[in-house]
Amino acid sequence: MPRLQLHWQILIALVLAVIAGRLSGLDGAVAGIHFYPVYEFIGALFMNALKMVIVPLIVSTIITGVADLGNTDGLGRLGGKTLLFYLTSSLLAIIVGLMFVNLIEPGMIDGHPARDVLGLSEAAASEAAQKVQGHSASDLTDVFLSMVPPNVVSAAANGQMLGLIFFSLLFGYFLSRIKHESRDVLSRFWSGIADVMMAITGLIMKFAPLGVFGLVAKTVAGIGADQLNDLAFTLGSFTLSVLLALAFHAMITLPLLLWLVGRVNPLKQFQAMMPAMLTAFSTASSSATLPLTMECVRDNAKVSNRTASFVLPLGATVNMDGTALYECVAAMFIAQAYGLQLDLVTQFTVVLVALLTSIGVAGIPAASLVAITIILATIGLPAEAIGMILAVDRILDMFRTSVNVFSDSCGAVIIARSEGEEGVLQG
């Protein structure tokens, strides 16, 4: 029999978790075995498995990605323009997400943190508050100092991801600059680690329905019937925040870049890319949509094959505007749910880590989930609320993938115009 796709498995697990959590409550038991500790164990095991792969996954994927880019002409004029656009568009996307999540405050209910509704422990909230409180603008220097750790191994052990990401970027860049004999050995080594870690991540995600069941059942079991409406309201507010931010970025930010920088009509770009965007929405995969994206950019937008064949494959790997925006909103949502008012320094850290992780882990399965865990660890927040986000992750994944693909195509058009190509988006 055909196997159900993962998102359907997660959806079924979510429904079963709500039913099981309501029926068992905190005290439900069979043969002396209480259900609540079982839910807690399953959820904790799944989260531990995700955290287990973060360090080797981040290091290997960033090193191999940067080294592969450096081995081509990707760091020349065309590559410089491409990377500049991708960094700019991703940064703008994150800022848009930050603006909407601060405006809507989905982690708050009637002015109070939603931690009880989401089943987040008060002890964890107090501990998190101690980690992030007392920051000021002068602490901004600490953010940059943490990017250059005195001990990389210690940084990895203590979850200091900014330093680890920066080290991996440097390692990958200079790996592409050393002599061929050493470069080939190291490239195969890190590529092999990346392949293994992706395989392990894929294995962990096969158990995602079970992990979601444990995390959600634990949450539902710990809340009263009167709080279920609040739970639905909280997740609805989070979903609305993400969708509004994605819509703003796709319909205002990127069209402004097309108009001001590319000097083209944004409406023609939407018309040219509609088939690719609809395919991205249905598949939730930038990589799977890449052939159609290239066809639309070449045939409909009239971008040269030289530009499209360089910009779009690179964009499908590193340019994830929608993903970066989602990571930022999710991290801020969880912080709000814990009752934490993050200052500008901490929010800047969220922006910086979201930007780096959207590049570093974009090509792996469950990239957003891994990246959100990294962001939370960086700013000192527990990751236990991620299970609730999974309840609405699939539908949001479809929307953010469409934004990712549209951003890639906008980059191709703007870069083609900067290269002096004639006829782009004409006719």
pLDDT tens digit sequence for 288-337: 677 788 888 888 889 888 888 778 877 776 778 888 899 889 888 888 88
Least confident of 43-47, 61-65, 113-117, 281-285: 281-285
The model's pLDDT over 232-255, given as tens digits with 9 standing for 90+, comes to 788 889 999 999 999 999 999 999
**Most confident by average pLDDT, 12-16, 99-103, 145-149:** 99-103
| 6-418 CATH | 1.10.3860
What pLDDT band is residue 138 in, cutting at 50, 70 and 90?
very low
Q: What is the reported pLDDT for 317?
A: 67
What pLDDT band is residue 136 in, cutting at 50, 70 and 90?
very low
Query: The pTM is what?
Result: 0.74
What pLDDT band is residue 267 in, cutting at 50, 70 and 90?
very high
Bridge pairing between strands 33-34 and 29-30? antiparallel
